[in-house]
Chains A and B, each alone.
Chain A
Amino acid sequence: MTTEELIVGHFEKSLTLEEERALQERLAQSPETRTMYDQYRSLEATLGNDASAVAPSSRLDEATVAAALSLLPQAIGGGLLGLLSSKVVVGLTVAVIGGISIAIFANRNSSNNGATVAPPAPAVRVVPATPSAQPPVVAPPAEERASSGTQTPENAQPVSAAATPKSEESATVKGAPNRTGAQAVGVKPARKPDGTMTIDTKNAPVIDNGTQVKPNK
C-alpha cells in the first residue's frame, strides 16, 4: 500500500489496525508524509464543512413539498368530485341544448296550418363541449399566490428538457389533479425553527397543477 493510499484510507476509516500502525511509522519518519497527511486533513475538513453547509433554501423546500403534495388526491375526494362535477355539467349542458333543439323543431312543425304531422323524430345532435362545461375555477387572491412562493402555469418554468429522461414522462405533469375550486383545500408546507418542513392543511396555497413550482428568488 502506498503512503497516499494509507492516508486516504485513514480518513475513510477503512484501514486495519496493522495499516494504521504502518501509517504512524511513516508519519514519524518522513516530513514529506506528514505534509501530505496535513494536506489531506485540510481537504477532508473542507469537504466536511461543505457537506454540512449544503442545503436547499426554504423557498425551494416549500415549493418542492407543495408541488409534490399537489399530486395527491385530496382526502375529501377532490379529484373524484371534480371529475363527477365536470361530467354532471357536461351532461346537463347536453340535455338543456338538446331539449331546446327539440322544442324549436317541434314549434316549427306545429306551425304548419294545424295539419297533423307525424311526431318529430328525436333530435340527436352532437353538442360540442362548451367552455361552460368546464368545472369552475376559483383563483385565490393574488397576494396569496405571491406570498406562498408558488407559480401559476402561466409563468411556471418546467424543468428543462435536458434534465428529463426521454424514456420517462415529461416534467410537465399531464393530467395531474388540479387543485382548483373545491379542491383548493390542500396542504401548505411551512418551516419549523429547526429547518425541517411541516404542513398546514388549513391555509393551503393553490397549486394549479402538478408542474414544478419555482421558488421566488
Chain B
Amino acid sequence: MTDTILDTSISDETLMDRFKDGDETAFVELYNRYRRRVYAYCIRMINSQDQADDLFQEVFIRVARKRHRFLAGSFSAWLFAIARNLCLNAIRDRVSHVALEDVADSLQTAADEAEYDQSLEILKEAIDHLPADLREPLVLRVYSGLSYQEIADLTEAKLATVKVRIFRAKQRLHEMLAPYFMDRV
C-alpha cells in the first residue's frame, strides 16, 4: 500500500509538477484537497446527482489528461476553470425557465409540509431556481470557498459585480425561503 504522507505545506503547483513527472501520490493529494469543493460546485450548479457525478469525474480526468498544459499560475483557478467550462456547457443545454413567483409558491407549499431535516432539500431547490449569473458566484463563494477576487477572476467579472451578484443571490434565496424561515425564527 502506497501511503506516502505528503507535507500539507506543499503548494498545489508543486504537487502538479510532481504529478506531471508521474508522481501519482501528488495527484491523490490534489484530489483530496479539492474533491469536496469541486463536487459541491458541480452538484449545486447542475442539481442532478448523476450528471454532477459525471462532470466531477470528467474534471479530474481532464486534469490528468491535460496535466502538461498546466504551466504556471494558480492550480485552483485552472481546476475551477475546467469545472466551470464543463458545468456551463451542461447548463447551456438545459432549458429551464421558471418564474420566481412560481418557485416561491411551490417552495411555500413544500415548506408548509416540511420538517426541519427537509430544509436542505428546499434550499437545493431554491438554489437551482436562481438565475445562473447569480447562482454561480453564490456557489463558488459558499460551497467552494473562493474569495471575491478569485470568483471575479474565474468568471471574468468585476469585483464589485461579484459582490452585488452574491448579495442578489442571497436576497433571492431570502425571498423564496422567508416563509419557511419565518416559522423558525
Contacts and interface: CB of A to CB of B under 8 A. Distances in A.
- To the question of whether A and B form a pair in one complex, the answer is yes
Interface of A: 4-5, 8-9, 12, 14, 35-36, 38-43, 46-51, 53-57, 60-61, 63-65, 67-69, 71-73, 75, 159-160, 162-165, 168-169, 171, 173, 176, 187, 189-190, 196-202, 210, 212-213, 215
Nearest to B93: A162
Interface string B46-73: 0000010111111011111100000000
Nearest to B166: A12
A187 B24 contact: yes
A22 B61 CA distance: 50
Contact of B58 (A14, A38, A65, A212): A212
Given A47-B142, A159-B55, A187-B24, A40 B60 contact: no
Contact of B185 (A39, A49, A50): A39
Contact of A56 (B24, B39, B143, B171): B39
B154 interface: no
Given A162-B89, A173-B65, 6 more contacts: A39-B182, A43-B181, A54-B44, A163-B55, A163-B86, A202-B1
Contact of B89 (A42, A57, A65, A164): A164
A81 B79 CA distance: 32
B64 A42 contact: no
B: contact size bracket: 35 or more
B184 interface: yes
Contacts of A41: 185
Contacts of B142: 47-48, 51
Interface of B: 1-3, 22, 24-25, 27-28, 31-32, 35-36, 39-40, 43-44, 51, 53-58, 60-65, 85-86, 89-90, 93, 119-120, 123-124, 142-143, 163, 166-167, 170-171, 173-174, 177-178, 181-182, 184-185
Q: What's the dominant secondary structure at chain B's contact region?
A: helix
A43 B174 contact: yes
A144 B40 CA distance: 31
A179 to B, nearest CB: 13
A68 B182 contact: no
A56 B49 CA distance: 10
Contacts of B39: 54-56, 60
B89 A163 contact: yes
A4 B181 CA distance: 16
Contact of A60 (B53, B174, B184): B53
A72 B64 contact: yes
A162 B46 CA distance: 12
A58 B86 CA distance: 22
Nearest to A161: B93
B24 to A, nearest CB: 5
A54 B54 CA distance: 16
Contact of A212 (B22, B57, B85, B89): B57
Contact of B61 (A55, A187, A197, A210): A210
B57 A159 contact: yes
30 contacts: A39-B185, A40-B170, A42-B185, A43-B170, A47-B123, A50-B120, A50-B123, A51-B143, A54-B43, A55-B36, A60-B56, A63-B57, A64-B60, A67-B57, A67-B61, A68-B27, A68-B31, A75-B22, A162-B93, A163-B55, A163-B58, A163-B90, A164-B58, A164-B89, A165-B89, A168-B85, A190-B1, A197-B28, A212-B57, A212-B61
